[in-house]
């Protein structure tokens, strides 16, 4: 990897991946793009190459690839689960047409591609606990439908055209720099912000609803380590189950109380997001990722909580 293009780079994962990759590979070797500049993100857009790219416009992507002689695309432009249910058409367009455009350019120009998939690929018929790598999927959200289709499309481009496609099924990602953009797991980020600001939080996901989660530094390592892994060892190239913890709102509250004893958790459940959460696994089996490319998270719930609260205290107070 010498020249990397990140699409959707100003979002939750991209903002932090940009900093990490620029540190590793050099700022001029990590070209970032998004559909528009965002205020508050000048540290990223001014500190290295930034281009406006709407992933629906294949020519825009292709021109940037040529301009910088890109050899790897990390395609993060996507619509998440909750927003996808409000606007299924947009979700299909961005997640599928965007990916198709990226794959076609990769085929023409011989690029390596990373595209994140998600726990959203699973559905109500999927085994819920320690969900296997290969199992029944049949998701019931548009986001999940696009993510399964994306996994299959990436597999197809690898098998048919030899495009070096790679990806993981991300669980909920918890981070302190950039808020997530409309997912079902977002409560697990908001709870930390409100813990620091108000010492209380009202959760839109119900007590006892387990989902997999991961702290952002582990998510960034996953992207970089999979991109750098020996491709000949990858069997599940585009769909690796990965996780760091399986938790429900009370688990996070109890972890926060180790640092803020008076923290209070209430519930005002959103039926739409609750239904989505209930259709997803409680916990994933990530043994194939561990075996095939050495996946191993560094943060558990308490070490994540400690770091989140420290970082948010510095940011918000």
Q: Is 120 in the site for ligand AKB (CB under 6 A)?
A: yes
User: For ligand AKB, which is the closer residue by CB, 49 or 84?
Assistant: 84
Q: Which residues contact 41 (CB under 8 A, 6 or more apart)?
A: 10, 15
Q: Is 33 in the site for ligand AKB (CB under 6 A)?
A: no
DSSP symbols for 181-213? SS-STTHHHHHHHHHHHHSEEEESS-TT--EEE
Report the alpha-carbon distance of residue 149 to residue 314 in Å, rounded.
41
Q: Is 146 in the site for ligand AKB (CB under 6 A)?
A: no
Which one of the listed residues 100, 143, 201, 267 is annotated catalytic?
143
Number of chain positions touching ligand AKB (CB under 6 A): 13
Report the alpha-carbon distance of residue 45 to residue 51 in Å, rounded.
8
Q: Is 281 in the site for ligand AKB (CB under 6 A)?
A: no
Sheet holding 172-174, edge to edge: 172-174, 211-215, 245-247
User: For ligand AKB, which is the closer residue by CB, 184 or 305?
Assistant: 184
Please report how close the Cβ of residue 118 comes to ligand AKB at its closest, in angstroms. Answer: 3
Q: Is 118 in the site for ligand AKB (CB under 6 A)?
A: yes
Q: Which residues contact 135 (CB under 8 A, 6 or more apart)?
A: 122, 126, 127
CA distances for 180 relative to 81, 172, 189, 198, angstroms: 11, 9, 8, 20
Alpha helices in 26-78, H assignment, sequence order: 42-45, 58-68
Per-residue b or e along 191-230, where b marks 16 or more CB atoms closer than 10 Å to that residue's CB: bbbbbbeeeebebbbbeebbbbbbbbbbbbbbbbebbebe
List 183, 249, 281, 297, residue binding ligand AKB (CB under 6 A): 183
User: For ligand AKB, which is the closer residue by CB, 123 or 171?
Assistant: 171
Q: Is 240 in the site for ligand AKB (CB under 6 A)?
A: no
Please report how close the Cβ of residue 20 comes to ligand AKB at its closest, in angstroms. Answer: 19
- Kindly report the backbone phi and psi dihedral angles of residue 288, in degrees, each rounded to the nearest multiple of 5, phi listed first: -65, -40
Beta bridge partners, 72, equal: 4, 112
Q: Is 172 in the site for ligand AKB (CB under 6 A)?
A: yes
Find the part of the chain contacting ligand AKB (CB under 6 A) among 85-93, 148-156, 165-173, 232-240: 165-173
Q: Is 80 in the site for ligand AKB (CB under 6 A)?
A: yes
User: For ligand AKB, which is the closer residue by CB, 64 or 289?
Assistant: 289
Please report how close the Cβ of residue 161 comes to ligand AKB at its closest, in angstroms. Answer: 27
Say whether 143 is catalytic: yes
User: For ligand AKB, which is the closer residue by CB, 13 or 70?
Assistant: 13
Q: Which residues bind ligand AKB (CB under 6 A)?
A: 80-81, 118-120, 143, 170-172, 180, 183-185
Residues assigned a catalytic role: 143
């Amino acid at each position: 990897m010498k020249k990397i293009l990140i699409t959707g780079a100003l979002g939750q994962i991209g903002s932090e991946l940009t900093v990490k990759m620029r540190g590793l590979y050099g700022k001029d070797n990590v070209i970032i793009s998004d559909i528009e500049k965002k205020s508050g993100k000048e540290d990223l857009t001014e500190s290295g190459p930034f281009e406006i790219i709407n992933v629906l416009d294949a020519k825009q992507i292709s021109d940037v690839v040529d301009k910088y002689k890109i050899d790897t695309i990390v395609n993060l432009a996507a619509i998440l689960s909750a927003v996808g249910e409000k606007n299924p058409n947009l979700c299909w367009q961005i997640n599928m047409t965007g990916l198709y455009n990226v794959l076609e350019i990769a085929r023409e120009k011989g690029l390596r591609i990373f595209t994140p998939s998600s726990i959203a690929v699973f559905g109500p018929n999927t085994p819920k606990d320690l969900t296997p790598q290969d199992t029944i999927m049949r998701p019931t959200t548009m986001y999940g439908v696009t993510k399964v289709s994306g996994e299959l499309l990436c597999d197809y481009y690898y098998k048919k055209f030899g495009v070096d496609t790679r990806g993981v099924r991300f669980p909920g990602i918890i981070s302190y720099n950039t808020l997530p953009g409309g997912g079902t797991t977002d409560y697990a980020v908001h709870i930390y912000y409100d813990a620091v600001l108000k010492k209380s939080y009202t959760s839109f996901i119900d007590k006892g609803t387990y989902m997999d989660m991961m702290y952002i530094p582990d998510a960034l390592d996953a992207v970089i380590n999979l991109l750098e892994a020996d491709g000949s060892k990858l069997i599940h190239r585009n769909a690796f189950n990965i996780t760091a913890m399986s938790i429900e709102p009370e688990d996070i509250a109890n972890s926060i109380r180790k640092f803020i004893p008076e923290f209070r958790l209430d519930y005002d459940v959103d039926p739409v997001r609750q239904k989505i959460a209930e259709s997803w696994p409680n916990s994933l089996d990530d043994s194939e990722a561990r075996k095939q490319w050495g996946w191993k998270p560094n943060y558990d719930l308490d070490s994540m909580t400690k770091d989140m609260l420290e970082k948010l205290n510095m940011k918000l107070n």
